[in-house]
Amino acid sequence: MTAFAIKQWLKPAYLVIRRWQVPPVSLIYRPLHWLLLSLRLAGAGIMRVLIWTPMFRSQVTGGEGLYLYDGLPQLLGPVKVTLGQDCRISGVSTICGRPGSVLELGDNIDIGWQNTIACGTRITLGNNVRLAGRVFLAGYPGHPIEARARAKGLPERPHQARAITLHQDVWVGTGAIILAGVTIGRGSIVAAGAVVSRDVPAGVVVAGNPARVVRNLEAADEA
Catalytic residue ranges: 143
Half-sphere exposure of 26 (CA within 13 A, CB side): 0
- The arrangement of strands across the sheet holding 61-62 comes to 61-62, 80-83, 102-105, 122-125, 164-166, 183-184
- In the DSSP assignment, the letter for residue 133 is T
189: β partners: 171, 205
**CA dihedral for 197, 174, 72, 104, sign (positive or negative):** positive
109: β partners: none
3-state class (DSSP) for residue 196: strand
Q: How far apart are CA 170 and CA 185, in angstroms?
A: 7
